[in-house]
Structure 1
Amino acid sequence: MSREGAEHALRARADERDRISGDLLDLESHTTYQLLKGSSLRGATQRRWASAQAALAALWVLHDAYRGVLRDAERIRATRSRMGAEQLAELTALLAGPSVVLKAAAKPVEQRSLLPATDERLTLDQTVLRMDAAFQEATDALAEIDAAWSAALPGLDAAATDLRTVTGLRDRLGEPLDLDLTADELSRMRAAALEDPLGSPPAEHELNRITTLLARCRADLEQALRAREEYGRRREDLAAALDRVRAAESDARLAHGAVVVKIALPPQAAPRSAMSELTGELDALDVSTEGWLRRAARLTALERAAREAADQARTTAKALYGLVARRDELRGRLGACQAMAVRKGRAEDQEAARLYERARSLLWTAPCDLTKAAEAVALYQSSINGGGR
């Protein structure tokens, strides 16, 4: 090397050394690196991290030897303001030659030879390449383990938060809800994810099952808490709902009474009352000593049953009055068919007349058998259109 070339190479190596040192400091301060240093690992993660640590150990040996050569080069350059030929030759050998010496590693006796162990000599460029390969192996391991933790821990953390929320609600309500098994499962899954994220990530179906269970428990407990806090108001609303049921059932009975004299109804068409069952359940809720989980479910079921009973009574009344409307529709249809028979000149037909009289008798007889009346009208209509029985 020329003097200018040697000085330029020395400056470039000094910059390279500072950059490498900074990268190594960044590696050691990396969050995942710090976590791994203090973690108890096992399985695939333990093997991956052990390999990375071996690479890092080799890297630091290389780094120390590399820095030692640069210190020697800087000492030679600092001895004189203008280097002589001897100093320049020494500096060139350090910067461009195989100046980095790696001492032969001590081996177990069963692996030794009686021949002398040979030290390895590398150039600075070879040393940097080997350090970079070790650095990449270590950072690759960090990235893999960090990615595995990032994939596993958020779901487990969310489930743990849900468990704490559910536990708090349970304690607030004083419910005998056993969450020990769920807590143990989460603890086991978290320990496995922390100790071996590469080999033992949490099974998605197991975590989903726990998450679903906790969500259902939370919803039930929140419903129970609302029921306890709102029971007075909801009871008043229930009493009003039962009044609506009572009124709707009364209308259904009136409708049945008005229709049964006009339309032939089977015994099962008589409206049935749900009031006794509903009021009995409300009274039982008032004196119940059950926990609020059970009482909330019963309260919600009673509210739903009251709505359904009122809807059913209104539907029954509407259906009953609809039977009268159906009779009237059949009467109108019979009259239209008779007019059609006159237009077609079949009004005097003996069979058609007989069918008309039968349909008319059924429709104007109280109570009317709607099924038979509808069949009679259909037969009459068929006969005047050229059909027959």
Structure 2
Amino acid sequence: MSREGAEYALRARADERDRISGDLLDLESHTTYQLLKGAALDGMTRQRWTAVQAALARLWLLNDAYRAVLREAEQVRAVRAKPGAEQLDELTRLLSGPSVVLRAAAKPVEQRSLLPEADERLTLDETVARMDGAFREVTSALNDIDAVWNAVLPRLDDADRALRELRDLERELGESAGLDAQESQLRRMRAALLSDPLGAGVGPDLGGVARALAEARAEVDQAIVVKREYARRREDLVAALDRVRAAESEARLAHGAVVVKIALPPQARPRSRVEELTGELDALDASADTWVVRARRLAAVESEAAKAADRARATAKALYGLVGRRDELRGRLGACQAMAVRKGMAEDPAATACFERARSLLWTAPCDLTEAAAAVETYQRAIHGGKP
């Protein structure tokens, strides 16, 4: 190695040493590394961390031997301002040859032989390559653990925050929402995630807890609203039941008015739900249920009251619509009779018989709409040349 080559190689190795030292310091200060170094690990993570510690031991051993060779080379270079042939030979040996000596490690007695264990010799490049392999093994484990923590810990924090908010709402409500199981599950998940992030697998279970907390939050929010507004909503519900009563009365009146004109089946008689809903409201007033349960029951009665009123109004409209359908058929029959006159079929015996049957059905009370519609259709076909 020439003087210039030796100077260049020594400077390059010094820069390399400084860069490696910086990387090792960064590793030492890495947050995840610091957490794991003092943690009580378990399962897959403990197995992985045991391998990491072995890699770290190799890394520091290699680094110490590497730095020792560089110190020796710097001492050789410092002997003279301009190194002579003897110094250049020594620098060449140190910087380019197998100058890094790794002492043979002591083995357990069952792995020994009576022959001496040979030390291993490496060049600086080989030493750096081995250090890089050990370094990558460590950082790979840190990255894998980081990936799990970065993905799951924020979700776990969100679930914990949701649970704390629910606990505050429980105090406002003055009753429990039954969250002890979720709280215990979250504690177990956090402990598992910190002790064994690579084997905990808490993601799916955490999703179930988060959904349960969201459902509980919706119920508690509704219960608080009900507690605050129960008196007003009860008054509104009483008014809604009055509307149900009025709508059902209208449906009964419609049935009474229509049944004398149109033949109706027994199931067409309107059924009342107002008494049943009033009873449910009275039971709700006397209930000792929690506000969460009362909120569900109140919402159910409100919904059923709205449906009952709509159903009664629809029934009344449908009943009156049957009279309209009869009148429509009467008008259609008259139009068909006029057409028969224009076509010269007013005296046709078959058409006349069809007309009389349809007219009799439509002007008989109560009218059978099904038979009347069929009779009008038959008459219409008869005047158009079809068979009656």
TM-score, reference length from structure 1: 0.91
Matched with 2:44 is 44
Matched with 1:230 is 229
Matched with 2:160 is 160
- For residue 36 of structure 2, what is the amino acid of its counterpart? L
- Matched residues in 1 for 2:321 and 2:298: separation? 34
- Matched residues in 2 for 1:82 and 1:122: separation? 28
- Residue 191 of structure 1: how far off its partner (Å): 3.0
- Residue 125 of structure 1: how far off its partner (Å): 1.4
- Matched residues in 1 for 2:371 and 2:89: separation? 125
- Matched residues in 2 for 1:251 and 1:273: separation? 11
Say if 1:152 and 1:201, in contact at 8 Å, map to a contact too.
Answer: no
* Cα shift readout 1:249-298 (whole Å, capped 9, x = no counterpart): 33323333332333233344333333222333333333332211111111
Matched with 2:100 is 100
- Residue 171 of structure 1: how far off its partner (Å): 4.1
* Cα shift readout 1:349-369 (whole Å, capped 9, x = no counterpart): 223212211211221223322
Matched with 1:282 is 281
- Residue 346 of structure 1: how far off its partner (Å): 2.2
* Cα shift readout 1:156-202 (whole Å, capped 9, x = no counterpart): 33333333333443343243443333333333333333333323312
Give the match's secondary structure for 1:132: helix
Say if 1:152 and 1:197, in contact at 8 Å, map to a contact too.
Answer: no
- Residue 26 of structure 1: how far off its partner (Å): 0.8
1:1-389 equivalence runs, <5 A: 1-202=1-202, 204=204, 206-388=205-387
Give the match's secondary structure for 2:101: strand
Give the match's secondary structure for 1:219: helix
- Residue 306 of structure 1: how far off its partner (Å): 1.5
Say if 1:148 and 1:201, in contact at 8 Å, map to a contact too.
Answer: no
* Cα shift readout 1:67-94 (whole Å, capped 9, x = no counterpart): 1111122223233333333333333322
- For residue 169 of structure 1, what is the amino acid of its counterpart? L
Say if 2:381 and 2:387, in contact at 8 Å, map to a contact too.
Answer: yes
Give the match's secondary structure for 1:121: strand
Pick which of 103-112 and 235-244 moved more: 235-244
- Matched residues in 1 for 2:116 and 2:285: separation? 95
- Matched residues in 1 for 2:306 and 2:246: separation? 13
* Cα shift readout 1:208-247 (whole Å, capped 9, x = no counterpart): 3333222222211111111111212222322332232233
Say if 2:177 and 2:292, in contact at 8 Å, map to a contact too.
Answer: no
Say if 2:258 and 2:323, in contact at 8 Å, map to a contact too.
Answer: yes
- Matched residues in 2 for 1:6 and 1:108: separation? 42
- Matched residues in 1 for 2:301 and 2:294: separation? 10
Say if 1:246 and 1:275, in contact at 8 Å, map to a contact too.
Answer: yes
- Matched residues in 2 for 1:208 and 1:46: separation? 26
- Residue 203 of structure 1: how far off its partner (Å): 5.6
- Matched residues in 1 for 2:112 and 2:287: separation? 85
- Matched residues in 2 for 1:194 and 1:388: separation? 88
Give the match's secondary structure for 1:101: strand
- For residue 219 of structure 1, what is the amino acid of its counterpart? A
- For residue 200 of structure 2, what is the amino acid of its counterpart? S
Pick which of 56-65 and 376-385 moved more: 376-385
- For residue 172 of structure 2, what is the amino acid of its counterpart? R
- Matched residues in 2 for 1:117 and 1:152: separation? 48
- For residue 349 of structure 2, what is the amino acid of its counterpart? Q
- For structure 2, list consecutive stretches of 5 or more residues without a partner in the other structure: none
- Matched residues in 2 for 1:250 and 1:128: separation? 95
Say if 2:177 and 2:220, in contact at 8 Å, map to a contact too.
Answer: no
Give the match's secondary structure for 2:339: helix
- For residue 232 of structure 1, what is the amino acid of its counterpart? A
Give the match's secondary structure for 1:91: helix
Give the match's secondary structure for 2:238: helix
Give the match's secondary structure for 1:62: helix
Pick which of 332-341 and 39-48 moved more: 39-48
Say if 2:177 and 2:216, in contact at 8 Å, map to a contact too.
Answer: no
Give the match's secondary structure for 1:198: coil
- For residue 39 of structure 1, what is the amino acid of its counterpart? A
Give the match's secondary structure for 1:199: coil
Give the match's secondary structure for 1:290: coil
Say if 1:162 and 1:214, in contact at 8 Å, map to a contact too.
Answer: yes
- For residue 143 of structure 1, what is the amino acid of its counterpart? N
Say if 1:27 and 1:33, in contact at 8 Å, map to a contact too.
Answer: yes
- For residue 33 of structure 2, what is the amino acid of its counterpart? Y
- For residue 275 of structure 1, what is the amino acid of its counterpart? V
Say if 2:159 and 2:210, in contact at 8 Å, map to a contact too.
Answer: yes
Pick which of 336-345 and 252-261 moved more: 252-261
- Matched residues in 1 for 2:201 and 2:39: separation? 16
TM-score, reference length from structure 2: 0.92
- For residue 318 of structure 1, what is the amino acid of its counterpart? K
Say if 2:65 and 2:100, in contact at 8 Å, map to a contact too.
Answer: yes
